[in-house]
Structure 1
Amino acid sequence: MANYIQHFAALFTRQKEKARPEQVENYAGGFVFQLDDWARLDRWLVLGADGGTYYATERALTQDNARAVLRCLDADGERAVRRIVEISRSGRAPKNEPAIFALAMAAGHARPEVRKSALAALPEVCRTGTDLFHFARAVEGFRRWGRGLRSAIGAWYQGKSPDELAYQAVKYRQRDGWSHKDLLRLSHPTPVTDEHGAMYRWIVGGMDAVTNEAARGGALDPEKLPAVVRAFEEAKGAPRERLVTLVRENRLTHEMVPTEWKNDPAVWEALLPHMPQTALLRNLGKMTSVGLLAPMSAAARLVASRLTDAERLRRARIHPVSVLSALRVYAQGRGERAQKRENALTWEPVREIVNALDEAFYLAFRSIEPTGKKHLLALDVSASMDGGAIAGIPGLTPRVASAAMAMATARIEPSFSTLAFASAGGAFGPRGVSGVMSLPLSPRQRLDDVLGMVSGLPFGGTDCALPMIWAQKNKVEVDTFVVYTDSETWAGEIHPFQALRDYRQAMGRPAKLVVVGMTSTGFTIADPQDPGMLDVVGFDAAAPQVMADFSRA
């Protein structure tokens, strides 16, 4: 007898075929649901497109996302700009560059009101000199340097106090082919105070321009320059003892210190007490290499206490990805590219610092209360999850990053189980379900151990229905399935939303599904018509709270 049901059925559909008319084909050839443009805007702002994905190049993924951003700007430009500002200011994204790029698009939009809204938001999104340089480079792809853009750049400088402007000018001097001198010459802001005038003259012409003007009897006086600028100038030729004093008294940062002194432990010791939190994360290896951070040292205790200070993390907008990157690099004792360079920086990791970074990762997420619900945390470990990099960080693939996100939930929820899945015919996992692997994560494990465990798992195709199939087969009670994936599912004989429907019916439980999107594609396995399914953006710092609220509701 012919087995016609394998070719056509109402209750299950192969993932390489449409189960519903509105489904779209993903990059892998499977059929999934299309995210709306506003959800895509969020994914872009949080994840960007650094390195592309396994199936899509960085160029193709950026173009797809840019078109979605443009559609949001066309539909409601002011709303889009507000969202750009919101995600940028809240610190929910690992990097600010996607928001800066989207703002540059808005600044070049065809409608004047959208351009005006974008330029007014410039100081809120571009908070540092480096941000401003990124914007200047990006905006040239979308418009010319007209009066409105020049005025907005000028307003960025005018809106800062002389001390704030001085800090930006000496810490962030140039990037992307732009400098403060270039932007001041383009924007020609009128100084609002004598101190602003002195700063503008110093930025454009250096100390000689200021002193020469004063010698000619002009209004400018070198003493009107903020103390940090005068200290920066003196530091250029200062001996070691004087340099250390200048650093301590004027709170100079490492960017303001002459290069020849950056291997001196005394200089780093002077920098440490007032070092910003982001700089602290980025320079742990350097401070260990020069000998300042040593086991059981006072400096190591100070750094560990600051890394685990939740309020400092919050005020500095430290993102979990920044901590995770610092942990990965510091624990391995070298930079990601150190093996490819001669005389590359290496160090012996200090246990207190590694433990502090592990704790800081969880503190960087917004604090949430446990839901008490039963969670199945399912990690897609298929080949496509090993393509690209979260926030452009080498080695931080969606596969590895998803394990870190799962641990953020595992540390909070008392009732959870974890598994990894690829596709049937790949690895053989617990109780006979092909493609599912046991993943015994424990909240007591250190994060770098967990990442190493996931990195070593075998690859396979993608079948995002497997978590629900496995739970139904083994009669596992689940309140919320949490699937960490790129939604490039294609290898299954049933769609994920159909598998969830079958699980609900078989188990008599109104189980929910949270899809954690780990790449900025426009795809999701969540049925938009099902209120029991939710999309969140991977490594959105607010994601665990959103997931908990959804699970609790």
Structure 2
Amino acid sequence: MANYLQHFASLFTRQGEKARPEQVQNSAGGFVFALDDWSRLDRWLVLGADGGTYYASEQALTVDNARAVQACLVADGARTVKRIVEISTSGRAPKNEPALFALAMAAGDAKPETRKAALQALPLVCRTGTDLFHFARAVEGFRRWGRGLRNAVAGWYLDKPAEALAYQAIKYQQRDGWSHRDMLRLSHPVARTPEQAALFRWITQGMEGMVNPSAKGGALSPASLPELVRGFEALRASTNRKQVVALIRQHRFTHEMLLSEWKNDPAVWEALLEHMPQTALVRNLGKMTAVGLLVPGSAACRKVAQQLVDKDRLRKARVHPVALLSALKVYEQGHGERAQKRANALSWAPAREIVDALNEAFYLAFQAMEPTGKKHLLALDVSGSMTCGTIAGVPGLNPRVASAAMAMATARLEPAFTAVGFASGQGLSGPFSSQGVEGLRPLAISPKQRLDDVLKAVDGLPFGGTDCALPMIWAQKNRIEVDTFVVYTDNETWAGNVHPFQALRDYRQAMGRPARLIVVGMTATKFTIADPSDPGMLDVVGFDAAAPRVMADFSRPTPAGPAPAGPAAN
């Protein structure tokens, strides 16, 4: 008798075939669901396309996402600009570059109202001089320097108080082939105050231009410059360590404002530390250790460790979890990512207090949330494709390792969780099975473990194909009670005999539990394993700082049904 069931069935379908008409083929050949353009916009703004993926180069992934941004601009330019501003200003994204790129696209849009909205948003998204330079580089790919763009850049300078603008001019002097001198000469802002006029002259012509009587507008008194600029000129002219230290303390100068010859002096770094912003603190831990300031057991080491875990400092500075994870990886190894390729590269002996503080600070950087009390299965996709690309361009932070870090944020919060790693059971280099399911095994993740130890353990797992249905299959086969499945993946599933949404449906029926599925997208692709028609499934963007809170809200349903998707939801 012919077995027609092997060719067609509605209950279970091979991932290499469509289970639903609306499914699309992912880059690995499996069939999944397509994200809408607004969800793709969120993924781009948070994750970017650094390093590409296993299946797509950085160029191809960028082009693909840029087309999604264009589609959003065509559909609703004002909504697109608003979303760019929301993600950028909330501190939810590891890097601001994707938002700057999207804003540049909006500034070159065909619709005048969209261009106007984008240029009005310029000071909100371009918060530093470096941001402005990145935007200037990007916007030239989408439009010419017309009156609207020049006026928007001029407004960026004119709307800042003289002292605030002086700080920007001194700290962020040039980037991407652009400088403040270039921007002022392009935008031609007309100073509103004598202080602005003096500052613009100093930026474009230096101190010589200030005292030159033949300059346009005549000579200007250096006394009309902001105090910060006058102190900066004294700092650059100083050859005395005591005076340099005094000027740093008086004006709260940052390390970017120093001449290079002072950047190896521990006394100078001690002075910088007194008022060092939180982001700068995180970025300069290696340097301060290398010069001998952060010695284990020292007062400076204790002070820095306390500041790293200061919730208020982290919140006010909007330090992203990825920045802390990157700092932990680099600091613990005792050298920069490219140090081994350069002679006389910076290296240091890590201080235990700093490593411990960075471990703790990572969890504190996620937005505050309350435990749900629900039973979670944290499922990490450890297939080969998850080892390609980087999160926010951080060397060594591939989606596979980053998934473990995100899972730990939930593990630290929820008392009832199980963690597993899965691939597909195909092409693995060793035994990788658990309780009758090949391609999956439990992970010994404990909330008491150090984050760096967990990352190393996950990074050392064998590779394989991808079957995102395995977590649900394993839970059903072993009668494990789960309220919320959380799958961290790139959505390039292809190797299973049942689609993930079918496996969840079967789990619900077999176990009599209204289990939910949260898909944490770790790359900026256009795919998801979550069924968009199922209110019990949710997409969130990996390493969105708000993601754990949104996930907790979704796992904690209201009596009326599933919690609505929050700001991190796709």
Residue 493 of structure 2 corresponds to which residue in structure 1?
Answer: 489
Deviates more, 1:435-444 or 1:4-13: 4-13
CA shift in 2, pair 1:492/1:218, >3 Å: same
Q: Distance in 2 between matches of 1:62 and 1:519?
A: 12
Tell me how far 1:234 sits from its aligned partner: 1.4
Q: Distance in 1 between matches of 2:501 and 2:434?
A: 23
Residue 200 of structure 2 corresponds to which residue in structure 1?
Answer: 200
Residue 282 of structure 1 corresponds to which residue in structure 2?
Answer: 283
Q: Distance in 2 between matches of 1:383 and 1:255?
A: 40
Residue 538 of structure 1 corresponds to which residue in structure 2?
Answer: 542
Cα deviation code 1:66-109 (max 9, x no counterpart): 00001101111001000000000000000000000000000000
Tell me how far 1:7 sits from its aligned partner: 2.5
Residue 563 of structure 2 corresponds to which residue in structure 1?
Answer: none
Tell me how far 1:341 sits from its aligned partner: 1.3
Contact 1:424 1:492 in 2 (8 A): no
Q: Distance in 1 between matches of 2:505 and 2:319?
A: 39
Residue 337 of structure 1 corresponds to which residue in structure 2?
Answer: 338
Tell me how far 1:424 sits from its aligned partner: 2.6
Matched, 1:455 2:459: yes
What is the DSSP-based 3-state SS (H/G/I as helix, E as strand, rest coil) of the residue aligned with 2:28? coil
Q: Distance in 1 between matches of 2:221 and 2:501?
A: 70
For structure 2, the 5+ residue unaligned runs are: 558-570
Contact 2:377 2:417 in 1 (8 A): yes
Q: Distance in 1 between matches of 2:355 and 2:224?
A: 44
Cα deviation code 1:194-239 (max 9, x no counterpart): 0000110000000111122499994722112112211211112312
Q: Distance in 1 between matches of 2:93 and 2:217?
A: 50
Cα deviation code 1:398-425 (max 9, x no counterpart): 0000000000000000100000000033
One-letter amino acid of the counterpart of residue 517, structure 2: L
Q: Distance in 2 between matches of 1:67 and 1:127?
A: 26
Q: Distance in 2 between matches of 1:151 and 1:78?
A: 20
One-letter amino acid of the counterpart of residue 533, structure 1: M
TM-score, normalised via structure 2 length: 0.96
Matched, 1:103 2:103: yes
One-letter amino acid of the counterpart of residue 316, structure 1: A
Q: CA RMSD in A?
A: 1.2
Deviates more, 1:423-432 or 1:484-493: 423-432
| Residues 359-378 of structure 1: pairs in structure 2 closer than 5 A | 359-378=360-379
Residue 244 of structure 2 corresponds to which residue in structure 1?
Answer: 243
CA shift in 2, pair 1:320/1:216, >3 Å: closer
One-letter amino acid of the counterpart of residue 498, structure 1: Q
Contact 2:212 2:219 in 1 (8 A): no
Residue 565 of structure 2 corresponds to which residue in structure 1?
Answer: none
Cα deviation code 1:318-370 (max 9, x no counterpart): 00000000011001111111111111111000011011111110110001000
CA shift in 2, pair 1:2/1:424, >3 Å: farther
Q: Distance in 2 between matches of 1:215 and 1:381?
A: 64
CA shift in 2, pair 1:422/1:518, >3 Å: same
Cα deviation code 1:424-450 (max 9, x no counterpart): 333422212100022010000010101
Identity %: 73
One-letter amino acid of the counterpart of residue 155, structure 1: G
What is the DSSP-based 3-state SS (H/G/I as helix, E as strand, rest coil) of the residue aligned with 2:438? coil
Moved runs in structure 1, 4+ residues, more than 3 A? 1-4, 213-219
Residue 312 of structure 1 corresponds to which residue in structure 2?
Answer: 313
Contact 1:536 1:543 in 2 (8 A): yes
Residue 35 of structure 1 corresponds to which residue in structure 2?
Answer: 35
Contact 1:214 1:220 in 2 (8 A): no
Cα deviation code 1:133-163 (max 9, x no counterpart): 0000000000000000000000000010000
| Residues 222-233 of structure 1: pairs in structure 2 closer than 5 A | 222-233=222-233
Contact 2:210 2:219 in 1 (8 A): no
What is the DSSP-based 3-state SS (H/G/I as helix, E as strand, rest coil) of the residue aligned with 2:540? strand
What is the DSSP-based 3-state SS (H/G/I as helix, E as strand, rest coil) of the residue aligned with 1:32? strand
Q: 1:517 aligns with which of 515, 521, 529?
A: 521
CA shift in 2, pair 1:430/1:164, >3 Å: same
Q: Distance in 2 between matches of 1:380 and 1:332?
A: 26
Q: Distance in 1 between matches of 2:480 and 2:343?
A: 53
Tell me how far 1:3 sits from its aligned partner: 4.3
Matched, 1:298 2:299: yes
| Residues 97-136 of structure 1: pairs in structure 2 closer than 5 A | 97-136=97-136
Residue 9 of structure 1 corresponds to which residue in structure 2?
Answer: 9
What is the DSSP-based 3-state SS (H/G/I as helix, E as strand, rest coil) of the residue aligned with 2:274? helix
One-letter amino acid of the counterpart of residue 280, structure 1: L
| Residues 308-457 of structure 1: pairs in structure 2 closer than 5 A | 308-425=309-426, 426=428, 427-457=431-461
Q: Distance in 2 between matches of 1:429 and 1:173?
A: 55
Deviates more, 1:278-287 or 1:203-212: 203-212
Residue 77 of structure 2 corresponds to which residue in structure 1?
Answer: 77
Q: Distance in 1 between matches of 2:219 and 2:341?
A: 53
What is the DSSP-based 3-state SS (H/G/I as helix, E as strand, rest coil) of the residue aligned with 1:292? coil
One-letter amino acid of the counterpart of residue 376, structure 2: H
Q: 2:532 aligns with which of 524, 528, 532?
A: 528
Residue 147 of structure 1 corresponds to which residue in structure 2?
Answer: 147
Contact 2:425 2:433 in 1 (8 A): no
CA shift in 2, pair 1:369/1:217, >3 Å: closer
Tell me how far 1:8 sits from its aligned partner: 2.0
One-letter amino acid of the counterpart of residue 160, structure 2: K
Tell me how far 1:513 sits from its aligned partner: 0.1
Contact 2:211 2:219 in 1 (8 A): no
Residue 221 of structure 1 corresponds to which residue in structure 2?
Answer: 221
For structure 1, the 5+ residue unaligned runs are: none
Contact 1:214 1:221 in 2 (8 A): no
Tell me how many residue pairs correspond in the alignment.
553
Q: Distance in 1 between matches of 2:495 and 2:213?
A: 73
Cα deviation code 1:510-547 (max 9, x no counterpart): 00000000000010000000000000000000000000
TM-score, normalised via structure 1 length: 0.99
What is the DSSP-based 3-state SS (H/G/I as helix, E as strand, rest coil) of the residue aligned with 1:367? coil
